[in-house]
A and B are shown apart, each in its own frame.
Chain A
Amino acid sequence: MTLLSVSGLHVGFGRDPKAGEVVRGVSFDLAAGQTLAIVGESGSGKSVTALSLNRLVDFGGGTITEGSIRLTRADGDVLEVTQADEAAMTRVRGAEIGMIFQEPMTSLNPVLTVGAQMEEAFRLHRGLAGAAARAAAKDALDRVRIPDVARRLGDYPHQLSGGMLQRVMIASVLACNPRLLIADEPTTALDVTVQAQIMALLGELKQETGMAMIFITHDIGLVAGIADRVMVMQDGRAVEQGALAEVLDHPQHDYTRHLLHAVPHFANGRAARQDGPRAGGAAAAPVLTVQDLVVRFPVKRRMFARAKGEIHAVERVSFDLVPGETLGIVGESGSGKSTAARAILGLVRSRGTLALPGADTRAGASQRPVQMVFQNPYASLNPRLTVESLLAEPVIATGHGIDDAVRARMAQLLARVDLPTNCLGRYPHEFSGGQRQRLCIARALMLNPSVVVLDEAVSALDVSVQARVLELLVDLQREFGLAYLFISHDMAVVERIAHRIAVVHAGQIVEIGDAAAVLSAPRHSYTRRLISAVPNIDRRHVRFTLDTSTVGSLLRPPGYEPPMADWVQVGPDHRARAEDTA
């Protein structure tokens, strides 16, 4: 039975929706109980398509200009969504079409308790009130395996983690047993291990309830585990659609092939780089040595009071980096990986030894041998400065003037990162995300650093852009002998660029060593968990198991020193922290 039939859908924005068209003729059918994955990069129109299905697009300034969306309702009637009035749509939303969104942190109302928001669904569609609504909300949270439900109902959204909130979202959507669930990038803002939990949960609930699902994602690897059918979108058009195996194994359209090619395939270390400077045995002297780096943030009860404890954000982190080498630092949000990077640049107060020997031996090397590239290329370039001023900034900051040599270097670096040399007078908003990140890279290289810290430098970019920036980084490394500290949550990206990998968990390195070794034979249980959570086209039939463990608090009493860790030497260049076997 066809649940939803979309044909020739056109959606536009602005005063003249025909001119501002974002979706240009999308058609698909969805049977009851089926899962359709819509895959595409940012701007492909996939989210707008989804928001059109329950006409939420109206509130974002969008207009459906053409086409039809026919929804078969529970009573067998067919509703033409494009023509329905707002009252009819209000009855459909939530009751028949549920929706979950990308950012669980902002998708729940911050001033209402979780319980109040859960109960709303029951009040609106089932007419429950008071204690009955509360009981129903409690049951719903139980269904999504939230521990300690009674207490959670009284919590406000800011008191829950992202993964928890997404489960609350799912619970409140499932409350009314919708026949269609639209999931718009539901795991994009979450850590991989949490993503695996949510995906497992969605899979289980789909089986339990038999609802149909539209799963929107930019990550074609994620689709593999959950979809029956796949639709690939580009520039507002569905360029290819078909059964899952058909599309993944025999892509017909160039763009699908391109996406499949660009998406980093996680290959358990088989794709790791082999051109590391340590490969030959005798490596050059390290360009950066970090010994027992510790960063702690005091937690104060109130003004003037003594600290009641300290957050051990980074705990005895040690590693070294030789020229031409990339160390990938992998960990989830809150693991302390970015804090460690900031400490190395002296941006946060830290303890431990940081040695940057050999920084001055190369000709033309600057006195500031560490530079950084940040995650968000939209926020890390001052919108009021021209490209020339942006590139001049680090030079001025180190007390030098702008002379012909500096201008020559600007031109050379811009050419090197494939930006036109004549763009010096332009402003950041004139560039795309990928171009801006190239600009950030050029800026970092202005001072000829020996070490570049890349903090999630490609995470905000679409996969195809990501691939090109990674290639550029590898080329630059070979050319200038740069050492990279590449911080990322994404195992597949790290596999492509890192020679060595350090896995960070709860502020500590739990495993470090040669990339291929760490990824192919992980020793520490956390590394294994992280690796098994990476979505993968090649492992599409592996079912995720539901794992609800969370990271404990990093808050310790003042003056607490954790015991020294024992390390297990796993291979020639591969060490892991010993675990309690108890």
Chain B
Amino acid sequence: MNLLTRRLATFPLVLIGVSSLVFFAIRLVPGDAITAMLGTEAGLLTDAQRAALQAYFGLDKPWIVQYGHWFWGLLRGDMGISVTYGKPVLTVILQRFPLTLELALLSMVIALLIGVPAGVFAATRNERAADLAVRIGAMIGQSTPSFVFGLLIIYVLSAGFGVLPVMGTFTPIWQDPLANLGQLILPAITLGAAFAASVTRIARSAMLDVLGEDYVRTARSRGAPARTVIWRHALPNALIPVVTLSGIEFGYLLGGAVIVEQIFALPGLGRMVLDAILQRDYALVQGAVLFVAFNFMIVNLLVDLAYFWLDPRIRAGGQ
């Protein structure tokens, strides 16, 4: 498709921009990788040893040379070696990514399954008690920090039912789907709650706008029953802002959810990036940020394709 190729053509440009920004930004952070890596033992190093280590990791060269080196590797699919894990960056990222992707997808499904019907329901009962209840609920969902909500869930389950979520080791979905779901469902609900609250609010306001449109009146004048008017005529027109919001939120989730990962002790992308920054693991931070940027672009592309599918007028404009 035309739009697809045009979009893909802009990918390298964005990636080059993001990569250079990250590369230089992380080097502005005070501290150095050798100290971070060895901790207090770094103090025992002689200057010669330190220089040797720096030379080994290529950290003694000017930034611009380091950048060129790193970029050249990137072109060959080599993002370097993580100093903390001692493994290639891509391998480390791909180990962590399935969990993050699954968590993000699960949260989005929860958010859409709750948010869209709740928003539609509230819009059709505009300014009545039910609408008010949904709006208050959404407001609470949006303003409750995820650590509060997450800890609350754990507390209620453990104190009330004596159930504790499995922590520590993570079971990938291909090993045991049920155990995997059992581990992810609580963090997904935690993330999904705030997500659902935003979806509810945007779906409600979009539906309210659409329900006032002329074509909705036309459908009613034709004798269409309420459910036809709402689900067939109004909702498809109200979905565009929902898709936009979901795309942005999903993109953020793909970058990892640090707090929720921390609470539920999940080895996701978010904690990995946080650790990498604290450890001055330059290669891993650069690789991870690039990876997240790439994901974001893919999500944006999917959002655009969704617009295409949803609205024939956008379809016509792109041809």
Contacts and interface: CB of A to CB of B under 8 A. Distances in A.
A95 interface: yes
A93 B310 contact: no
Interface stretch (B71-79, B192-200, B211-219, B278-286): B211-219
B312 A158 contact: yes
A110 B226 contact: no
B226 A86 contact: yes
A98 B221 contact: yes
Contact of A124 (B2, B212, B222, B310): B222
B223 A92 contact: yes
B316 A172 contact: no
Contact of A90 (B215, B218, B223, B311): B223
A59 B215 CA distance: 13
B220 A93 contact: yes
Interface size class of B (residues with CB under 8 A): 20 to 34
A112 B233 contact: yes
Given A111-B310, A156-B313, A303-B6, A93 B222 contact: yes
Nearest to B210: A109
Interface string A83-108: 00010001111110111010100111
A114 to B, nearest CB: 11
B222 A107 contact: no
B222 A158 contact: no
A103 B309 CA distance: 26
B223 A107 contact: no
Contact of B313 (A101, A158, A169, A173): A158
Contact of B223 (A59, A93, A156, A158): A93
Interface in B1-44: 2, 6
B313 A110 contact: yes
A253 B233 CA distance: 44
A91 B223 CA distance: 6
Contacts of B233: 109, 112
A111 B214 contact: no
Contact of B221 (A91, A93, A111): A93
A121 B222 contact: yes
B58 interface: no
B224 interface: yes
Contacts, number: 90
Interface residues of A, number: 36
A450 to B, nearest CB: 42
Interface string A129-172: 00000000000000000000000000010110000000001001
A54 B311 CA distance: 30
Given A111-B237, A111-B312, A99 B221 contact: yes
Contacts of A125: 223
B137 to A, nearest CB: 24
Interface string B177-221: 000000000000000000000000000000000011111111111
Interface in B200-258: 211-226, 228, 232-233, 236-237
A112 B216 CA distance: 12
A59 B316 contact: no
A302 interface: yes
Nearest to A125: B223
Contact of B222 (A120, A159, A302): A120
Given A56-B221, A92-B223, 19 more contacts: A59-B217, A90-B224, A93-B220, A94-B222, A99-B218, A101-B218, A107-B214, A107-B215, A107-B217, A110-B215, A110-B311, A111-B311, A111-B312, A120-B222, A121-B222, A124-B228, A156-B312, A156-B316, A173-B221
14 contacts: A56-B217, A56-B221, A86-B226, A90-B225, A94-B223, A95-B223, A101-B218, A103-B214, A106-B214, A110-B237, A124-B222, A124-B225, A159-B316, A173-B222
